Amino acid sequence: MFHHVKELQFNARVSKPDVRFAKLLLEQFGGPNGELKAAMQYFVQAFGCRKPHPDKYDMLMDIATEEFSHLEIVGATIQMLLTGVNGELKNAADESDLTKLLDGKAAKENYIHDAMINPHFFLVSGGTPTLTDSVGNPWNAGYIMGMGDLTVDMRTNIAAESTAKMVYENLMKFTDDVYVKESLRYLMTREVAHFQMFQAALDTIQPNFPPGILQSDPKFSNKYFNMSKGEKFSGPWNDGKSPLMGEDWQYIENPHQHVLDTNGLLKEQQEGTYRTEKSVQKVNRELSAERKNEIDDANSSKNGVMQWSTYNNKEDKEKPKKKKIKKSA
């Protein structure tokens, strides 16, 4: 259950209207890396954690709720930047006043020019933010990701925080309003904070590589295919040891010939790895059982009714104390 308090989380201020920056700032209101995307992504991911991972649920809902609060900050800033637009639209009667003075013409020309920047502010939102990115594409739920596996979802969230941080960094180049910059810097900083929260949560899950459960096939996990001929480079991504598994990279100089030689890789041999098919299968079975049990235990229903919340209305429920709990192994 959500509540709202009328004060913004951050005291957003604006020195003067600026329809152009309002347009740019839409990117973080209704864009693919914006606050709504973050809020909805963590909110939706949280459902699956409620029972088996209540600590992660708590964290996801804390951050999701903060992101909704950031969405409100961004929206409020855009609204202040658009001050005057709606009042001017209400000045509707002049449509019937067919005689125009010269001043009126010049003012009108400016007004039309502003409308070209983002017609939606003037025609359909009445000077209110629209849930689009900066070029006008409506927000859509294709932006949000969640696979129901925390080793994947935490990484997805780290990427989301990285891109959001970058957009704020870029946005700061396009305004001189010190008040607006102040808010942008706050919002940018919180993305960095969230990044680290997700990283810390990921680190509590072991093993967390590879993401998911199934181990990679040792025949193929350390091969590098040189698919792009011309100037070539070596780096730790194709030379030396792979960074998370410590296998030796095998560089396939001529992939086409290699594929022909191995009957389409069916005859591929494993090289440069300590893992065996047998060790892989053992890990698969053990980790699979462990992760399945975590979830099944948490979800076992009682008395033929599943219930999301409990409502024992005690005083200490109202003032919950901070409990230290251990993460599950």
Residues 22-41 binding a second copy (CB under 8 A) are 23-24, 27, 30-33, 36, 40
Question: CA distances (Å), 36 to each of 23, 28, 240, in order?
Answer: 16, 8, 41
With CB under 8 A as the contact rule, the residue among 136, 248, 274, 279 that binds a second copy is 136
Shortest distance (Å) from residue 276 CB to a second copy: 13
Cα 217 to Cα 276: distance, rounded to the nearest angstrom: 9
Inter-residue contact 59 to 201 (CB < 8 Å): yes
Residue 275 touching a second copy (CB under 8 A): no
With CB under 8 A as the contact rule, the residue among 22, 35, 38, 221 that binds a second copy is 221
Residue 143 touching a second copy (CB under 8 A): yes
> From residue 168 to residue 207, what is the string marking binding to a second copy with x (rule CB under 8 A)?
-xxxxxx-x-xx-x---xx-xxx-xx-xxxxxxx-xx---
Shortest distance (Å) from residue 274 CB to a second copy: 15
Residue 234 touching a second copy (CB under 8 A): yes
Residue 110 touching a second copy (CB under 8 A): no
With CB under 8 A as the contact rule, the residue among 106, 107, 117, 328 that binds a second copy is 117
Residues 90-109 binding a second copy (CB under 8 A) are 90-96, 98, 100, 105, 108
Cross-strand bridge partners of residue 302: 305
Inter-residue contact 258 to 252 (CB < 8 Å): yes
Task: List Cβ neighbours of 32 (8 Å cut-off, separation of 6 or more).
Answer: 133, 139, 143
Cα 46 to Cα 49: distance, rounded to the nearest angstrom: 5
* Closest to 28 measured CA to CA, from 232, 169, 168, 196: 168
Cα 151 to Cα 148: distance, rounded to the nearest angstrom: 9
Residues 289-318 binding a second copy (CB under 8 A) are 289, 291-292, 294-296, 299, 301, 304-311, 313, 317-318
Residue 76 touching a second copy (CB under 8 A): yes
Residues 235-274 binding a second copy (CB under 8 A) are 235-239, 242-245, 251, 253, 255-257, 259-266
Task: List Cβ neighbours of 68 (8 Å cut-off, separation of 6 or more).
Answer: 2, 35, 39
